[in-house]
Amino acid sequence: MIQKTQPSAKALVPFVSVANMMRIIHHVGIEQMLIDLATYVEDDFKRWELFDKTPRVASHSDVGVIELMPTSDGEAYGFKYVNGHPKNTSEGLQTVTAFGLLADVYTGYPVLLTEMTILTALRTAATSAMAAKYLAPKGADTMAMIGNGAQSEFQSLAMKAICGITSVRLYDKDPAATAKCAANLANTGLNVVICTSPEQAIEGAQILTTCTADKQCATILSDNMVGAGVHINAIGGDCPGKTELAAGILARSDVFVEFPAQTRIEGEIQQMAEDFPITELWQVVTGAKPGRSSDRQITLFDSVGFAIEDFSALRYIRDRIKGSDFFFELDMLADPDDPRDLFGMVQRAAP
Q: How far apart are CA 160 and CA 154, in angstroms?
A: 10
Q: How far apart are CA 140 and CA 129, in angstroms?
A: 12
SS3 annotation, 178-208: HHHHHHHCCCCCCEEEECCCHHHHCCCCCEE
C-alpha dist (Å) from residue 21 to 31, 64, 78, 111, 160: 15, 26, 18, 17, 22
Out of 73, 104, 172, 238, the active site residue is 238
Active site residue 238: yes
Rounded to the nearest 10 degrees, the angle between the axes of helix 307-320 and helix 117-135 is: 110
Query: How many other β-carbons are positioned within 10 Å of the β-carbon of residue 18?
Result: 13
Q: How far apart are CA 244 and CA 234, in angstroms?
A: 8
Q: Closest by alpha carbon to 209, among 96, 302, 281?
A: 302
Q: Which residues are catalytic?
A: 238
